[in-house]
Amino acid sequence: MAAGTEEAALGYEEARDELIEVVRRLEAGGTTLEESLALWERGEELAKVCRRRLEGARARLDASLATERATEAEEAGGEDEDAG
């Protein structure tokens, strides 16, 4: 599986949990320089996945709120016409 495909398949919680494990391993030490660099690179990839997932969730939330505000504005406009 290609790295991009693997990242796309990871959910937020999975990426976050793996990132926590990567950080724990880096903080614990005891790895070679090469292993530490590989862990760091994996951590960067996982952080990007988390960031993209959160940005996507934020966009969906913003869109939902905008739709809700538009619906409320339309309903309020309709009430004004009925009152007149």
Tokens encoding 32: 């070679």
* 48 within some domain: yes
pLDDT of residue 84 exceeding 60, the answer is no
* 1 within some domain: no
Q: Domain holding 74: CATH number?
A: 1.10.287
Domain count, the chain: 1
* 60 within some domain: yes
Q: Which domain holds residue 44?
A: 9-83
What pLDDT shows up at residue 77?
86
Amino acid code (one letter) for 46: L
pLDDT of residue 81 exceeding 60, the answer is no
| pTM given for the model | 0.72
User: Residue 56: in which H helix or E strand, if any?
Assistant: helix 33-83
- 């619906």: which residue's tokens? 71
The phi and psi torsions of 34 (rounded to 5 degrees) equal -65, -45
* 74 within some domain: yes
Tell me how long the chain is.
84
* 55 within some domain: yes
Q: What is the pLDDT of residues 24-68, one digit of tens each?
A: 999 999 999 999 999 999 999 999 999 999 999 999 999 999 999
* 61 within some domain: yes
* 41 within some domain: yes
